[in-house]
Structure 1
Amino acid sequence: MFRPILILSACLAATGCASVVNDSTHPIKVETKTEAGQVVTGADCKLTNDYGSTPVKSGETTQVRRSSKDLDIVCKHPDNPDATARAISRANAGMFGNIILGGGIGAIIDHNKGTAYTYPTWVQLVYGQMLVFDRSAEKDGTPTPGTAAVAATASAK
């Protein structure tokens, strides 16, 4: 009875909580719209963070490598100006679990591996605009609302 608990405890201590709970990748759905709000599918999008780039067609969901760094997104379509965005990386529950349970080493491991972080799961880029998507504004079943990058930069000053 105690042996499985002991093995599980040793695993959790040797790795991080988020490493056990979360995959190293995270799903993200990328959609594109015109300024008038018309959805455009099939645009060539590239999602980039410090672990590399992932291609996806707009309207589809892909897996991106988790990271503490933000995710840059660029979507190109021949009939529209580029749509660009930044998805903010936020610490997830696994990181807080490490801190609460005293897993300082686990928190460092999860930070370095990126498993302690999550991006928004659904974003809608708008052609001709640069938007910022923050997971803290995410609601289940709906796209994460984007804010204009200029307004986000101005409010940070």
Structure 2
Amino acid sequence: MYFRPASAVTALLAVLAGCASLTESTEQSVLVQTVLDHREIAGVGCVLYNDVGKWFVTTPGRVTLRKSAGPLRIDCQKAGKGWAYEKVESKVDGNLWGNLALTAGVGYVIDKNTGAGYDYPATLTVVMHPAQDKEEGPPPAPGVTLY
């Protein structure tokens, strides 16, 4: 059997082309904005967290976070104005599906663990609840500090 280096290189490139870990960042910049009574409200402190980290932002503002296959949780509060607690699911991007097909699942596992094959929405609009409704809302997750 005759070995063709060009064929081997082509096959290797085809396999690696589907790997989001090699072609995409594991970080993502998102814009966080808060709305109360159908109007944007500024100066709200928010904590964003997923299974790989925790980030802080004052709205409206941008924050760079680590992507994950898991959900992104958002806790926001502004004294005397209101509070919010939301969960945003990550979405699989197109590279992850190509990776599954081209690498027989190996690249899929890597991308799922690094978060490279997933994205959160670029703009996160958090709907605030008025301050007087605080007792009716869900409690913050354990270990989360609201400010």
State TM-score, norm by structure 2. 0.74
Partner of 1:62: 63
Are the equivalent residues in 1 in contact too, given 2:18–2:102 (CA < 8 A)? no
Partners of 1:96 and 1:41 in 2: CA distance? 39
Return the offset for 1:38. Answer: 1.6
Partner of 2:117: 116
- Give SS of 1:74's match: strand
Matches within 5 A, 1:1-157: 6=9, 9=12, 13=16, 17-35=19-37, 37-128=38-129
**Pair 1:17–1:116, CA change in 2 (3 A):** same
- Give SS of 2:22's match: helix
What 5-or-longer segments of structure 2 have no aligned partner? Answer: 131-147
Partners of 1:34 and 1:120 in 2: CA distance? 20
Return the offset for 1:79. Answer: 2.8
Are the equivalent residues in 2 in contact too, given 1:16–1:103 (CA < 8 A)? no
Higher-Rg structure is 2
One-letter amino acid of the structure 2 residue matched with residue 79 of structure 1:
G
Partner of 2:143: none
Return the offset for 1:109. Answer: 0.7
Return the offset for 1:16. Answer: 6.4
RMSD, aligned α-carbons: 2.6
Partners of 2:71 and 2:18 in 1: CA distance? 21
Return the offset for 1:102. Answer: 3.5
Are the equivalent residues in 1 in contact too, given 2:100–2:106 (CA < 8 A)? no
Q: Which has the higher contact order (CA 8 A, sep 6+)?
A: 2
Partner of 1:145: none
One-letter amino acid of the structure 1 residue matched with residue 67 of structure 2:
R
Are the equivalent residues in 2 in contact too, given 1:18–1:94 (CA < 8 A)? yes
Are the equivalent residues in 2 in contact too, given 1:16–1:109 (CA < 8 A)? no
Q: Which runs of 4+ in 1 moved over 3 A?
A: 5-13
Partners of 1:41 and 1:91 in 2: CA distance? 31
Q: Percent identity?
A: 26
